[in-house]
Amino acid sequence: MPTQNKSFLKRLLIWRYKHISEKTFIYILSVVVGLLAGLASVTLKNITYFIEASLERGIIFSSNQLYFILPIIGLTLVYLYVKFVHKERLKHAVSSILFSLSKKKGIIDRKQILTQLVAAPLTVGFGGSVGLLGPAVASGAAISSNLGRLFHISAKTRSLLIACASAGAIASIFQSPIAAIIFAVEVFSMDLTMISMLPLLLASISGVLTSYFFLGNEVLFTFNISRAFAVKDTLFYIVLGIGTGVASIYFTKMYFGILHLFKPLKSPKYRLLVGGLAIGIMLYMIPPLYGEGFSFINNLLLGDHIQALGKTPFDAFLDNIWVVIALLFGITIFKAVAMTTTLAAGGAGGIFIPTMVMGSALGNVVAKVINNLGLGFSVSESNFTLIGMAGLIAGVLHAPLTAIFLIAEITGGYGLFVPLMITASISYLITKNTIDYTIYTRELAERGDLLTHNKDKAVLTLMQLDDLIEMNFKKVDQHMTLGEMLHESVAKSTRNIFPVVDSQEALVGIILLDDIREFMFDTTLYKSTKVITFMQKPPEIIFYGQDKMQAIMQKFQDSGAWNLPVVKDGKYLGFVSKSKLLTAYRRELINFTGN
């Protein structure tokens, strides 16, 4: 940064400290973050739509129906950008944000801003079967993180601003400010207190206003409630809830299953080739898998399943409603496959919108089956299409409130609150009791890096082992005599515990001062007695890089020890004391809760 700019920033910071309170400054930043996140979302959408419109006008692809080769072109462009510009492997957008919140104090690399704005439109614009919401949230989060660093705000406030950015991005894309706030609470494990509520609200409003300013009153879905909720349909909504719950489990397991299949393909080129061909085949058989899929949802809401399905190899059989049902069910099955394949092949995108597409297809299938069984039942296919989306969001993301309010807001369907609640809650309960963690959180949870609403676990996750390790313990070689130990270690140490190591610096035991106290003044033992005589096994060992803070706390509790040694890569590193651990825990708890 040039000296002139540094000087200006310094004067600005000094002026801010003097004239603007911390609370007011957070409110101002939340508005700015909401606007910038909303702008990033609008930019993502416009770039993507520009690419899609340009390709639709292409003579070759439009007239000869060769659109299914486009995803591999898009993935190739993403690969080239990542290799020569980004120079790091793309990470899952929301999962990387959650990791930065738990282990990096909310610090996100600034290049994530541009990478998401380039890679995601190339992936989706060329037909990759993923969504733009995740990249929009990631880009907004990177903006807010670096803005926070620029103004030297605390890690806790930086985390709040990242949540504000997610709220602003979602509010901008869906024009749903309430659902945006709830998403930040459910997915990012934010505490909904007055301290966080107002910044989230301001950011959400800013994001919506940005969307209105650039896109006007354009809405994602065209929907009017033509058939209100009837009590007699309750059983069918329960069935839909069970169906979306099962589908959510399938979606999650399929995601991790396909990623596992791609693991043997170490080269990005091979992943691109295999994934691109697989996506092309799926698009040829099921064209609605192309891109995000908003037009597919809209056509189903309008009751036009023929337009929704597009041109398929089965067009001659679409007069048979059961063929239509089978094709729609195929979309339910293969949307998860196409989405994960796109990501595994190196594409950039999110899972939120594909979840909605899958849910809309499943909801429409359930309604069509009910209406065509010949048993005299009749339900609204549009309503079921809508509520199916809520069921999948609630199950896949473990976010039932986000699902309910999002679907209600983006469609104006507040009259369907009861069936939304029925379906979303059942789907969530089924999925949550089967799968503990979501696509966003499973890998983080397995590493112990996941923040949750459980304050104790959250605080332990935020703590860093490096901050607790003490290295001022005098090491003792296992072959030392008692006299050598007393002169070289005990006499020079202020601690009452001594790690015993071998020639390779591996920990072989510990010696307590109490163990040698009665022999310290018996000079006849100085040369004849080895320190290994007094050595004992440590009650527990902390393994650096393996033991998370929750496990470390448990080791102290189980062993009753006040000091435990730390081993890194098989070598002694230092000690952690219970007093320092508890002091750090209390300090982090105060920072986390703000009390």
Q: What DSSP string describes 528-553?
A: T-BGGGT-B--S--EETTT--HHHHH
Q: Comparing 426 with 479, which gets the higher pLDDT?
A: 426
| The pLDDT of residue 138 is above 80 | yes
Mean pLDDT is lowest, of 49-58, 276-285, 506-515, for 49-58
Rounded alpha-carbon distances, angstroms, from residue 21 to 16, 28, 30, 32, 155: 8, 11, 14, 17, 17
| The pLDDT of residue 246 is above 50 | yes
Strand order across the 497-501 sheet: 476-477, 497-501, 507-512
Domain 3-215 has CATH 1.10.3080.10: yes
What burial class does residue 414 get, using C-beta atoms within 10 Å of its C-beta: 0-12 exposed, 13-18 middle, 19+ buried? Answer: exposed
d(CA 156, CA 140): 17
Yes or no: say if 419 and 237 are a contact pair by the CB < 8 Å rule: yes
As beta bridge partners, residue 536 has: 510
Q: Comparing 586 with 82, which gets the higher pLDDT?
A: 82
What burial class does residue 489 get, using C-beta atoms within 10 Å of its C-beta: 0-12 exposed, 13-18 middle, 19+ buried? Answer: buried
| The pLDDT of residue 342 is above 60 | yes
Predicted local distance difference test score (pLDDT) of residue 401: 92
Long-range contacts of 490-497 (CB under 8 A, 24+ apart): 490/516, 490/520, 497/473, 497/563, 497/575
Q: How confident is the model at residue 413 (pLDDT cuts 50, 70, 90)?
A: low
| The pLDDT of residue 338 is above 90 | yes
Yes or no: say if 55 and 125 are a contact pair by the CB < 8 Å rule: yes
Predicted local distance difference test score (pLDDT) of residue 563: 87
End-to-end CA distance of the chain: 37
Which residue in this structure is represented by tokens 């092309």? 280
Over residues 435-441, mean pLDDT: 86
Mean pLDDT is lowest, of 76-85, 242-251, 521-530, for 521-530
Predicted local distance difference test score (pLDDT) of residue 364: 94
Burial 444-479 (b: 16+ CB within 10 A, else e): bbeebbbbeeeeebbbbbbbebeebbeeebbbbbee
Predicted local distance difference test score (pLDDT) of residue 392: 96
Tell me 436's DSSP state: S
Of residues 16, 37, 143, 122, the one with CA closest to residue 75: 122
Q: Comparing 482 with 200, which gets the higher pLDDT?
A: 200
Q: Which residues contact 397 (CB under 8 A, 6 or more apart)?
A: 186, 187, 352, 355, 403, 438, 439, 440
Amino acid in the structure at residue 364: N
The SS3 call for residue 90 is coil
Yes or no: say if 336 and 251 are a contact pair by the CB < 8 Å rule: yes
Highest mean pLDDT among 35-44, 225-234, 405-414: 35-44
Amino acid in the structure at residue 311: K
Q: Comparing 557 with 389, which gets the higher pLDDT?
A: 389
Yes or no: say if 470 and 497 are a contact pair by the CB < 8 Å rule: no
In CATH terms, the fold of domain 459-593 is CBS-domain (3.10.580)
Residue 503 CB coordination number (10 Å):
8
Over residues 24-37, mean pLDDT: 92
| The pLDDT of residue 460 is above 70 | no
Q: Comparing 118 with 291, which gets the higher pLDDT?
A: 118
Q: How confident is the model at residue 595 (pLDDT cuts 50, 70, 90)?
A: very low
Over residues 262-287, mean pLDDT: 88
pTM greater than the 0.85 cutoff:
no
Amino acid in the structure at residue 541: I
Average pLDDT, the chain: 85
Domain 231-453 has CATH 3.20.20.140: no
Q: How confident is the model at residue 536 (pLDDT cuts 50, 70, 90)?
A: confident
The pair of three-digit structure tokens given for residue 485, joined into one six-digit string: 């130990």
Task: Compute the CA torsion angle 444, 448, 450, 455 (nearest 10 deg).
Answer: 170
The SS3 call for residue 211 is helix
Q: Is 3-215's fold the same as 231-453's?
A: yes
The SS3 call for residue 226 is coil
Tell me 348's DSSP state: -
Predicted local distance difference test score (pLDDT) of residue 280: 86
| The pLDDT of residue 257 is above 90 | yes
pLDDT in tens, 36-75: 999 999 999 999 988 888 887 654 444 445 667 888 899 9
Sequence ranges of the domains in the chain? 3-215, 231-453, 459-593
d(CA 482, CA 147): 58
Predicted local distance difference test score (pLDDT) of residue 5: 64
Cα angle value 329/333/335 (rounded, 5°): 110
Percent of the chain residues topping a pLDDT of 90: 34
pLDDT in tens, 96-115: 888 887 778 788 888 888 99
Over residues 500-525, mean pLDDT: 82
Helix H segments across 286-439?
A: 294-301, 305-309, 321-344, 352-371, 381-397, 400-411, 417-432
